[in-house]
Structure formats: structure tokens, C-alpha cells
Amino acid sequence: MRVLLGTVVALVGITGSACQSSVATASPLLAPGSPFRTTILANAALDPNSEAMIARISRGGGVNAGLIDFALPVYQVTPDTPRHKVSCTMSWGRCPFDGVDVPIPVGARPHRGSDGAMVVLDERTRQAFEFWQAHDNGDQWSTSWGAVTNIDGSGWDRGATASGASRLAGVVRIEEIANGEIPHALAVATSDACAGTFRPPAISTDGRSSRSDCVPEGTRIRLDPGVDLDALTLAPAVRTVARAMQLYGAFVVDRSGSPLSMGFELDTTAPSGSIGAVYQQAGLRWDYDDLPGVPWDRLQVLA
């Protein structure tokens, strides 16, 4: 199950019947003790196979930033947002939306990538409604699968990703790029996710690789804290991501089509085909930007 390319959020204010994007400061997501909100000790132990695993996932020379096709729109709702019955088309058990009146704003749309992903965020009830391959059928919504998660939880509460991570966990937000700080671990995906095995906090996997240098979903990676970012010529957005990768690292939450990919918030106000003004002003260039200038071969796999 290829659920998403990364964990990305677009905060959207609802005015009348139209969806409007917002870069306003949002309430903190996830509990303070969540793995996504804990920093990594500089002397943290590394996996004995770290060097081989990193050589494998860094072979592309960069990290693909999903800024359009696989950037995940998340719609923030109000008590007046219309409610819908949502059916699941996959027979993987009881649909998480059974018996739930799901708030979906008028004008909400999943991203245009094959995952068809979307999240509806209800700050009032502290719930996230997560969709994989969502479809608006006119009078009723359907989705291949989904989840209803607690946004004050750990971020690993059976969310709608292959590893069990919530789609909200690890999001790189427009607000964070604008402010130059990401105060949490990120979420990444790789084509080299291991088949049949995963590591806590992951609870499942869709990995397919049987190579000895595959990376289990749930694995936490980081950028070597010994890398002097101030000595590198980096675009502001790339520096912000690299710093977060040193302090908090990233969790492998899914399988993707590239060696290493990272999702970003979708800028729903951007013209078609554009990544949006905030990203452009911070030095990002296009969808699947490879975040150049960072020695990505100096990533490390934590034990």
C-alpha cells in the first residue's frame, strides 16, 4: 500500500462556501512526549548498518521535496462545515469512517498525485480525518482507506500511512518555512523500505525491499550533527530543513518511488503548477526540488 510521499499539511480557513489557504500560526500538534517532538542527543547510538543503509537511500544525491503532486492538502474546519458519510472501498476491515459524520469543507480536494491524499483538521475536537485515494462523487465522498486520529496523541495512532503514522506528524508547513524553524521531526519515504519488517514506533509496513541495506519503516534518521551548516551555501528553506534534520531527524513512514522523499504542505493559493510564493522566496524551485547543498550522504540511521 503506497499511502503517501510524506506527511504534509495545508492549513485552510473556511469563509462561506469557499476554501481559502492560510499561513496563520496554528495550535501545536501532537503531545509534548511524542517521538516527533523529541530532540536527538548528539551522541545517540547509530545502527551498525547505518553506513550501508544511508549509501543506498542517498544514492540520488538529494531528497525529493514533494511540493505539488504529492503535497498533502489539509483543510481546517469550523462547527459549520458540512458533514458527510464517507465509505471505504478497500476491504481491510471496518472502515474508520463508519458511523462518523465527517466534516469536509465545500471545495476540498485531495492532491493530484496517485495517493489522492487529503486531511481534514478539526482543532475544536482535536481530531484529524485522514484520507487515502479520496473521491468526491458529487453527493457522497469515498476513499480507499482512512483514519480518524487524535492530534494530541503520539502521531503513531494508526494513522492513514503504511507505517501507522498520522499524516499530520512530521509535516513541513508553509508557516515553518516562512519562520525559518521546524520544531519537530520530519516524515520521509523511500523506495528501499524493507519488506515484512518494521521498527517501533511503526506498527506496520508496505515495504518491498529484501536487500541487506533496506531501511525498515519506523526507522529514525538524522543529518550528522557534525555538519557545519553555517559553512554551507544553502537556500533558506533548505537550511531550515537541514537544521531540523540535525535536531529532530526524520521517521521513515512510507514507501515511495524515489530513494528518499520528503513531503511539504501544499500551497492551495498558488497558481496551477506553482509551488507558491513562500516556498519560492525561501529558495525552493519546483516540485521534487532535491534540496541541494546539503551533504545528504552524511545522514545517519539511529539504533
3-state SS assignment for residue 244: helix
Q: Is the pLDDT of residue 275 over 80?
A: yes
Mean pLDDT confidence for 85-109: 93
Helix (H, G, I), strand (E, B) or coil at 234: coil
Residue 57: the pLDDT is 98
* pLDDT confidence band for 288 (50 / 70 / 90): very high
Supply the pLDDT for residue 171.
81
In this model, does residue 235 exceed pLDDT 90? Answer: yes
Q: What is the band of 35 on the pLDDT scale with cuts at 50, 70, 90?
A: very high
- pLDDT tens digits along 130-166: 999 999 987 789 999 999 999 999 999 889 899 999 9
Lowest mean pLDDT among 52-61, 123-132, 227-236: 123-132
Instruction: Tell me what pLDDT residue 27 has.
Output: 57
> Averaged over 20-47, what is the pLDDT?
80
Domains of the chain by residue range: 12-301
Task: Output the pTM of the full model.
Answer: 0.89
8 A C-beta contact, residue 281 and residue 85: no
Strands 127-136 and 118-122: what pairing?
A: antiparallel
pLDDT value at position 1?
39
Q: How many CB atoms lie within 10 A of CB 85?
A: 14
- In sign, the C-alpha dihedral spanning 26, 271, 278, 161 is positive
Angstrom distances, CA of residue 150 to CA of 98, 124, 156, 162, 194: 17, 12, 10, 17, 28
- Distance of alpha carbon 160 from the chain centroid: 11
DSSP state of 264: B
Percent of the chain scoring above 90 in pLDDT: 77
Contacts of 203 (CB under 8 A, 6+ apart): 156, 158, 163, 164
